Structure 1
Amino acid sequence: MRARRPQMGVVLTAQHRAGRLAFAREHQDWQIRHWRLVLFTDESRFTLSTCDRRDRVWRRRGERSAACNILQHDRFGSGSVMVWGGISLEGRTALHVLARGSLTAIRYRDEILRPLVRPYAGAVGPGFLLMQDNARPHVAGVCQQFLQDEGIEAMDWPVRSPDLNPIEHIWDIMSRSIHQRHVAPQTVQELADALVQVWEEIRHLIRSMPRRCREVIQARGGHTQY
């Protein structure tokens, strides 16, 4: 045995596990043609300070505090960018950069559902399914009413299931890509521009959905490697 960093996971109650297990069992027999109709969406926040504790330095004993071995990290002073995106087997939406302020239900409807999701749903056609998590703006009455009026069906997504959403891996890939650049973004605008560029280069991971469901079943609704 060797000492390893523990895998991070959300807190799962018995109710959460039951919901996750029920969802996985319901969709375990879905084939790729079924998942083809689903648009997986999510928001994520990226910061200018990219310290994620993955970095390593080679150093001699006693050189821990040498300037070349210190990764400077401003915990509170760095700017950040929140983005929203959607992916499917057929393609992806544009990456939407959210301006300052929090994401409210009204903003979600007016900046995302109306200009981005509705046209995408129309392009996919009958059977389109919107995957969104249970964040408050997503499940607010005004947004639910908008989806109903537009005839857009949203999946009944289990609470606390980021491992079932393949877009979560894309956020991680994007973060690593930005972090590994020779010249890191210095301003919020540079960060936003870099995120949009990386977004267009990412391949989709939706073909992993059958495997994700199987792993949730094997874990009896618990945490998975995703």
Structure 2
Amino acid sequence: MGEDNYVDILKQHLKTSVRKLKLGCQWVFQMDNDPKHTSKVVAKWLKDNKVKVLEWPSQSPDLNPIENVFVELKKRVRARRPTNLTQLHRLCQEEWSQIHPTYCGKLVEDYLKRLTQVKQFNGNATKY
């Protein structure tokens, strides 16, 4: 995926997701330091759309709740044992749509615990 694809995804889904998750006006967007995320094109779109972005250290998987969502998605899809790419794609979409917003909300609520543990372990791996 390139930076233009990423901007298209943001245009199509960011504000819709904010509404669905009922985040109100005081939300902060989190993304990692992938080059497409930090490109000038993306930075301009975020600035033009007044999206507040969380500063993010590189190489910090324990701080990224989406990693937990991906693990959950993989577990659900693997349990359904797809046998080809078409089925894998369909199952990923089905299972993704079944991950409830409260699950994601819980990951965000636990963020302070996550930060504390990363600090306690001096940036090394944690239980998250």
TM bracket (short chain): 0.7 to 0.9
Unaligned 5+ runs, structure 1: 1-102
What is the match of residue 219 of structure 1?
121
Q: Which has the higher strand share?
A: 1
Write the distance in 1 (CA, Å) between the matches of 2:46 and 2:13: 13
Matched, 1:109 2:7: yes
3-state SS, counterpart of residue 129 of structure 1? coil
* 1:4-59 Cα shifts (integer Å, max 9, x gaps): xxxxxxxxxxxxxxxxxxxxxxxxxxxxxxxxxxxxxxxxxxxxxxxxxxxxxxxx
Q: 2:76·2:95 contact (CA, 8 Å) conserved in 1?
A: yes
Q: Which runs of 4+ in 1 moved over 6 A?
A: none
Q: Distance in 1 between matches of 2:68 and 2:17?
A: 22
Q: What is the letter of the counterpart of residue 190 of structure 1?
A: Q
Which has the higher mean CA deviation after the structures are superposed, 158-167 or 118-127?
A: 118-127
Counterpart residue identity of residue 104, structure 1: G
Aligned to 1:129: 28
Structure 1 segment 140-179 matched on structure 2, within 5 A: 140-179=39-78
TM-score (norm 2): 0.83
Contact in 2 for aligned 1:118/1:150 (Cα 8 Å): no
Alignment of 1:27-106 (within 5 A): 103-106=1-4
CA distance in 2 between counterparts of 1:124 and 1:176 reads 27
Listed as ranges, the gaps of 5+ residues in structure 2 are none
**Does the residue aligned with 2:33 lie in a helix, a strand or coil?**
coil
Aligned Cα root-mean-square deviation (Å): 1.8
Larger relative helix fraction = 2
d(CA) in 2 for partners of 1:151, 1:206: 22
Q: With the length of structure 1 as denominator, give the TM-score of the two structures.
A: 0.49
SS state of the match for residue 29, structure 2?
A: strand
SS in 1 for 2:124: coil
Alpha-carbon distance in 2 for matches of 1:220, 1:128: 27
Q: State the alpha-carbon separation in 2 of the partners of residues 217 and 223 from structure 1.
A: 10
Q: Which residue of 1 aligns with 2:92?
A: 195
SS at match of 1:137: coil
In 2, Cα distance between equivalents of 1:136 and 1:218: 29
Relative to structure 1, the CA distance from residue 138 to residue 166 in structure 2 (aligned partners, 3 Å threshold; closer, same or farther) is same
